[in-house]
Amino acid sequence: MSLTITPNAEPLHKHKQISLHDPDDAASKLDLVEYWRSITKRKWAILGFGLVVALLAGVIVFVLTPVYRGTATVLIEANKSKVLSIEDVYSGISQNREYFQTQVEIIKSREVAIRTIDALKLWDYPEFDPRSKEKSFLQEWQEKLGISEELEAKEWTTNSLADAVFVKFNKQLTIEPVRLSQLAKISFESNSPALAALVANTVANTYIENDLDARYKMTKQASGWLQERLSSLKTKLDESERSLQNYREKAGIVDVKSAAQSGAGKQIEEVTQRLVETRLRRAEAENAYNQIKSVGKNGDYSSLPAVVRNSNVSEALKAQAEAERTMSEVAQRYGFEHPKYVAAEATLKSARENVKRQVESVVGSVTREYEVALGTERALEGTLNSARGSIQNLNRKEFELGVLEREVDSNRQIYDMFMKRAKETNVSGDLQSAVARVVDAAVVPHRAVKPQKPQIIAIAFVFGLFVGMLVSLLLDRLDNTIKTTEDVEAKLKAPLLTTLPLLDKGDTDRVASARLFLDNPKSIYSEAIRTARTGVLLSAIDVPNRILLVTSSLPGEGKTTFSINLALAHAQTKRTLLIDADMRRPAITKGLDLAPGAKGLSELVAGTAVLDDCLQAVPGSSLSVLGSGRIPPNPLELLLSQKFKSTLDELAAIFDIIVIDSPPVELVSDALVISGHATGVIYAVKAADTPYPLARKGLQRIRRAEGEIMGVVLNRFDFKQAEKYYGEYSGYGKYGYGKYGYKAGYGEAYGSEPEGKTGKKAA
């Protein structure tokens, strides 16, 4: 329960409230806690729903036909040595992971499945027989109504039966590779344990036989292809050999590399060497010749290197020098006519002529030597060019010969290879090895794998609990009523004045509940009324007279009962008047068991009666009651009149507290009219029943009519349930007045709870 006190005399909603439930704490509350409370609130319903779902699941699984599984294990020998080495011919075995996965997919293939179905004739088993299908619901009704068409019986063949069985067979077959191994498990599920084991073993054997058949067919196909290729290769080899021989005969080549090419090569080598030597001599002769030409025809050749180096010229020059010496000696001794002088002169002349002849001889020799060297060089170049042309012709012939020889060699190699492969293929035709073998044959299972009854029932139970929890959370999400005291301030944006507990069955009578404050002053309900009274007194301390309007959204929310008990509480300390302004359905006089038909508000406002004639006293209390009086035809016009306002002002001058019970806001506008004359409006809301949008709308309408909202009264609040499901901890529920009793002085003054085990006071 929440107890709210306003420390100042101003209206309660204009101040900060002190509450046992801090709004900040409510805002920070975890959603998980709210979810848990929602689940625990309906725990027995959720548990019952889970049990019902589990029971239904148990009935279903016990009706279902048991399914057995047979499993055979095969070893796919990827690393097994092979008889043949020509893997290109028939896709030899690969030693990789992709190969193993490929073999697993082959086991799943349609071909293996169809061969297994044919081998076992599965269509003869009732489980797989497509000829015994039940008629559909529509076909049965059509036959009953006589509108079904006569369909011709389908003619079943072996192929059509196998195709019809394949779909169901493939669904019940499972191939599972064993991790980090070359093993694969072949499993088959069936209603018959013997059939499950039989099919698993048959699939394994069929896969091995199918692989052997495929290998044999590929070997035969490869052998036939090799024979065809050998015939064409033999013809091509013979043609290439004949072409080679014809070219040799046509070109006249016996052995080009050893005979022809060796002679031509030696000739070129010798001519090249001689040409180099001749060019050197020609260069020397040409140099000397050019020096001679540079001197000119009548020049002095004696200084030329070729002349100086000549031995004959050197001897002639020596002789000339000797003759000149002798002539010089003779000239000094003898005269010109002396015989020795004449002889010496003749000797000198002869020596000079000899020198001249020798020089001319050397010059002529150099010229001739140059011409001879030049001619020899040209002759050798011609010989070398001729030899080169001959060897180039031989090279071209050798190139063509090499092409033909390579073609012959290539054809011979291909022919030999295909001949070898053909012999190997023919020999290995009867030596095929299986790609796999069965290492663990399937045995007849003794226990069914489906349905797993305990597991399914447990899952159904958990699923039922989960669905029940979701439904519980959804119901709470869809529930838009005010369930806790925190909802009042969070959803209605209005202060909580007090919380009225849910009354026992003995107190729900209108008369008993109306006098509950007087008859049972120590009850929780009475303490809640005192809390409301304290809040009203503290809300406007400086106001001498207070006019309180009590209303609600709809009928049945307890506003009349609260109005009566609040007025009885105020009557203990104040001059209090209770007015029944609900002139459509008056209930105060009936609730207090007062005289019916007495004059009241309508007569007082209309002026047909005085106040003393309209007031009634409540036995056992000082409370005065002004009933509704005679129900007028136009209550709203009566309340809108100036006479009603004047009457209310006169009553406020007489009484300290005036409590007005008005009709609900959503039905008529009477409460909106009266709220403008009241000092405060108290709005009653029924816990877990009144939708908060409706209550919030009513509060907004009162504020628009310039009414002052003093607070909200949460009526019929189940404290035990709130504490259990919503975390509403209240001294009224746990440490309340039923156990410890009510201390009159403390409650009369402040309307708060006594100190209990918690050692705290309500604020």
- What is the 8-class DSSP label of residue 258? I
Amino acid letter at 446?
H
Separation between Cα atoms, residue 591 and residue 627, nearest integer Å:
11
Confidence class of residue 61 from pLDDT cuts 50, 70 and 90?
Answer: confident
% residues pLDDT > 70 (the chain): 75
Q: Are 76 and 184 in contact (CB under 8 A)?
A: yes
Please report where in the chains the tokens 């136009």 appear, as a residue.
634
3-state secondary structure of 70: strand
Mean pLDDT for the stretch of residues 146-171: 78
Flag whether pLDDT at 152 surpasses 90.
no
Amino acid letter at 236?
K
Q: What are the residue ranges spanned by the domains of the chain?
A: 12-40+480-728, 42-63+453-477, 68-207+433-440, 256-428
> What's the pTM value of the predicted model, to 2 decimals?
0.50
Separation between Cα atoms, residue 639 and residue 554, nearest integer Å:
20
Flag whether pLDDT at 727 surpasses 70.
no
> 339-428 vs 193-251: helix axis angle to the nearest 10?
150
Separation between Cα atoms, residue 586 and residue 677, nearest integer Å:
20
Flag whether pLDDT at 760 surpasses 70.
no
> 43-63 vs 31-41: helix axis angle to the nearest 10?
70
Flag whether pLDDT at 228 surpasses 80.
no
- Classify each residue of 621-653 as buried b or exposed e, where b means 16 or more C-beta atoms within 10 Å of its C-beta: bebbbbbbbbebeebbebbeeeebeebbeebbe
Mean pLDDT for the stretch of residues 477-481: 80
Return the pLDDT at 413.
77
Return the pLDDT at 733.
45
Separation between Cα atoms, residue 31 and residue 246, nearest integer Å:
103
Separation between Cα atoms, residue 120 and residue 649, nearest integer Å:
106
- What is the 8-class DSSP label of residue 15? S
Torsion over CA: 108, 114, 115, 119 (sign): positive
Confidence class of residue 462 from pLDDT cuts 50, 70 and 90?
Answer: very high
Mean pLDDT for the stretch of residues 130-143: 65
Which of the given ranges, 80-94, 135-149, 306-320, 730-744, has the highest pLDDT on average? 306-320
- Classify each residue of 39-73 as buried b or exposed e, where b means 16 or more C-beta atoms within 10 Å of its C-beta: bebbeeebeebbeebbeebbeebeeeeebbbbbbb
Flag whether pLDDT at 254 surpasses 50.
no
Confidence class of residue 564 from pLDDT cuts 50, 70 and 90?
Answer: very high
Q: Given this structure, which CATH class describes domain 12-40+480-728?
A: alpha beta
Joined together, the tokens standing for residue 396 give: 């071209």
Confidence class of residue 7 from pLDDT cuts 50, 70 and 90?
Answer: very low
Where does 336-399 show beta strands of DSSP type E? Answer: none
Mean pLDDT for the stretch of residues 52-62: 90
Mean pLDDT for the stretch of residues 730-734: 48
- Classify each residue of 584-615 as buried b or exposed e, where b means 16 or more C-beta atoms within 10 Å of its C-beta: eebbbbebbeeeeebbbbbbbbbeebeeeebb
Confidence class of residue 547 from pLDDT cuts 50, 70 and 90?
Answer: very high
In 121-157, which ranges are continuous DSSP H helix? 137-145
| H-run or E-run covering 196 | helix 193-251
Of 270-274, 390-394, 630-634, minimum mean pLDDT range: 390-394
How confident is the model over 516-527, as pLDDT tens digits?
899 889 989 999
Comparing 539 with 492, which gets the higher pLDDT?
492
Mean pLDDT for the stretch of residues 183-192: 91
State the pairing for strand pair 68-76/436-440: antiparallel
How confident is the model over 325-345, as pLDDT tens digits?
888 887 787 777 778 787 877
3-state secondary structure of 549: strand
Comparing 163 with 154, which gets the higher pLDDT?
163
Return the pLDDT at 180.
83
Flag whether pLDDT at 88 surpasses 50.
no
Confidence class of residue 24 from pLDDT cuts 50, 70 and 90?
Answer: very low
Comparing 272 with 722, which gets the higher pLDDT?
272
Separation between Cα atoms, residue 21 and residue 530, nearest integer Å:
19
% residues pLDDT > 90 (the chain): 26
Of 158-167, 420-429, 439-448, 702-711, minimum mean pLDDT range: 420-429
Return the pLDDT at 240.
76
Joined together, the tokens standing for residue 147 give: 């509108």
In 121-192, which ranges are continuous DSSP H helix? 137-145, 158-172
Return the pLDDT at 300.
60
How confident is the model over 487-521, as pLDDT tens digits?
888 889 899 999 999 887 655 566 778 888 998 89
What's the full length of the chain, in residues? 763
Amino acid letter at 216?
Y
Q: Which of 323, 685, 657 is nearest to 498 (CA)?
A: 685
How confident is the model over 596-628, as pLDDT tens digits?
888 999 999 999 999 999 999 999 999 999 999
> 485-492 vs 692-704: helix axis angle to the nearest 10?
50
Please report where in the chains the tokens 């090249």 appear, as a residue.
272
The total of other beta-carbon atoms located within 10 Å of residue 664's CB is 20
Separation between Cα atoms, residue 9 and residue 328, nearest integer Å:
174
State the pairing for strand pair 546-552/680-686: parallel
Q: Which residues contact 724 (CB under 8 A, 6 or more apart)?
A: 40, 41
Q: Are 741 and 735 in contact (CB under 8 A)?
A: no
State the pairing for strand pair 546-552/657-661: parallel
Mean pLDDT for the stretch of residues 545-570: 92
Which of the given ranges, 93-97, 470-474, 524-528, has the highest pLDDT on average? 524-528
Cis peptide upstream of residue 126 (ω within 30 degrees of 0): no
Mean confidence (pLDDT) of the chain = 77
Flag whether pLDDT at 53 surpasses 50.
yes
Flag whether pLDDT at 539 surpasses 90.
no
Return the pLDDT at 728.
57
Flag whether pLDDT at 674 surpasses 60.
yes
Confidence class of residue 81 from pLDDT cuts 50, 70 and 90?
Answer: very low
Q: State residue 497 phi and psi, 5-degree precision.
A: -80, -45
Comparing 683 with 14, which gets the higher pLDDT?
683
Of 150-154, 201-205, 298-302, 562-566, minimum mean pLDDT range: 150-154
| H-run or E-run covering 684 | strand 680-686
Q: Which of 578, 670, 673 is nearest to 621 (CA)?
A: 578
Mean pLDDT for the stretch of residues 129-140: 67
Return the pLDDT at 179.
86
Separation between Cα atoms, residue 752 and residue 231, nearest integer Å:
119
Q: Which of 169, 409, 418, 375 is nearest to 286 (CA)?
A: 375
Mean pLDDT for the stretch of residues 709-733: 71
- What is the 8-class DSSP label of residue 210? H
